[in-house]
Amino acid sequence: METLKGKQAAFEIGVVIHKRVVDDIGDSYGYDCDEVLVYEFQKVGLIVDRVAGLHDEFLKLAAPVEVLGQAAAELHLKKRTHIGETTHDNPTPPFYLPIFLPSSSCSFVAGVDLQFEWDESEAFIKQSDGSLFSWCERFRCYNHMIYGIVNNGESAVVLKFNGRKFNWEPGESLMWKLETEAIVKEVFPLHDETKRKQLLKRWALNLWDLTNQPIDEIYAYYGTKIATYFAFLGMYTKWLLFPAVFGLILQLVDFGSLQLFVLPFFFICIISWAVLFFQFWKRKNSTLLARWQISYSAGSESAYKYMDTEWSSFHSSAASAKKWGENKGKENEKFQREEWFGRMMRFRNDAIIILSIICLQLPFELAYAHLYESIGSDVVKFGLTAGYLFAIQYFTQIGGKVSVKLIKDEKNKCSEYRANSLVYKVFGLYFMQSYIGILYHAVLHRNFMTLRQVIIQRLIISEVLENLMENSLPYVKYSYRKYRAIRHKRKREKGYAGGKHIFNSRIEKEYFKPVYAASIGDELEDGLFDDFLELALQFGMIMMFACAFPPAFAFAALNNITEIRADALKILVMFRRPVPRVDATIGAWLNIFQFLIVVSICTNCALLVCLYDREGKWNISPGLAAILIMEHVLLLIKFGFSRIVPEEPDWVKANRMKNATHAQNMCSKQLLRNISGGRGMLVKANCN
Based on the number of CB atoms within 10 Å of its own CB, is 449 exposed (0-12), middle (13-18) or buried (19 or more)? exposed
CA 130 from centre of chain: 24
Least Cα distance to 17 among 190, 162, 170 occurs for 162
Alpha-carbon Rg of the chain, whole angstroms? Answer: 30
Q: What is the pLDDT of residue 109?
A: 41
The yes-or-no verdict on residue 90 having pLDDT over 50 is no
Say if residue 129 is in the same domain as residue 269. no
pLDDT of residue 564: 92
Q: Please name the residues in contact with 43: beta carbons below 8 A apart, sequence gap of 6 or more.
A: 149
Banded model confidence at residue 350, pLDDT cuts 50, 70, 90: confident
475: pLDDT strictly greater than 90: no
Q: Which domain holds residue 170?
A: 13-77+116-190
- 511 vs 503: CA distance, rounded Å: 11
In a domain, 356, yes or no: no
CA neighbor of 439 nearest in space, from 369, 353, 374, 368: 369
Q: 65 in a domain, yes or no?
A: yes
User: Do 476 and 558 fall within a single domain?
Assistant: yes
Picking from 166, 190, 214, the residue at the C-terminal end of a domain is: 190
Over 90: is that where the pLDDT of 582 sits?
no
Where is pLDDT greater, at 123 or 42?
42
In the chain, the percentage of residues whose pLDDT exceeds 90 is 23
**133 in any annotated domain:** yes
Domain termination site, one of 172, 190, 208: 190
Average pLDDT score over residue span 102-125: 66
Residues contacting residue 554 through CB under 8 Å, at least 6 positions apart: 244, 245, 247, 248
Asked if the model's pLDDT at residue 66 lies above 70, the reply is: yes
Is residue 577 scored above 80 in pLDDT? yes
- Taking CA atoms, 242 is separated from 210, 266, 270, 395, 581, in Å, by 15, 11, 9, 36, 33
pLDDT at 304: 36
CA gap 68, 56 in Å, rounded: 28
Task: State the pTM of this model.
Answer: 0.80
Which of the 8 DSSP states describes residue 517? B
Question: Domain for residue 254, yes or no?
Answer: yes
Residue 489's pLDDT is what?
60
Q: Is the pLDDT of residue 89 over 50?
A: no
188: three-class secondary structure by DSSP = strand
Distance of CA 687 to the CA centre of its chain: 60
Please state the domain count of the chain: 2
In angstroms, what CA-CA distances link 622 with 28, 263, 613, 629?
96, 17, 11, 10
pLDDT score of 234 more than 50: yes
Q: Alpha helix locations (H) across 158-223?
A: 174-180, 193-199, 215-222
Asked if 201 and 61 sit in the same domain, the reply is no
pLDDT at 240: 94
Is the pLDDT at 543 greater than 80, yes or no?
A: yes
Q: Return the H-helix or E-strand segment holding 377.
A: none
Q: Residues 480, 581: one domain?
A: yes
Query: Which residues pair with residue 453 across a beta bridge?
Result: none
Same domain, 134 and 177: yes
Q: Is residue 4 part of a domain?
A: no
| Confidence (pLDDT) at 108 | 35
DSSP codes, 649-681: -HHHHHHHHHHHHHHHHHHHHHHHHHHHHHHHH
Q: Which of the listed residues 169, 190, 211 is the one where a domain comes to its end?
A: 190
SS3 31: strand
Q: Are residues 52 and 152 in the same domain?
A: yes
pLDDT tens per residue across span 413-466: 666 777 777 788 888 877 877 777 677 666 666 666 767 777 777 777 667 767
What is the distance between the alpha carbons of residues 402 and 633, in angstroms, rounded to a whole number? 40
Look at residue 400 and give its three-state secondary structure: helix
pLDDT the model gives residue 88? 39
Distance, in Å, from the CA atom of 175 to the CA atom of 148, rounded to the nearest integer, reads: 8
**Residue 175 pLDDT level (bands cut at 50, 70, 90):** very high
- 208 within a domain of the structure (yes/no): yes
pLDDT band at 585 (very low <50, low <70, confident <90, very high): confident
β-pair partners for 59: 15, 50
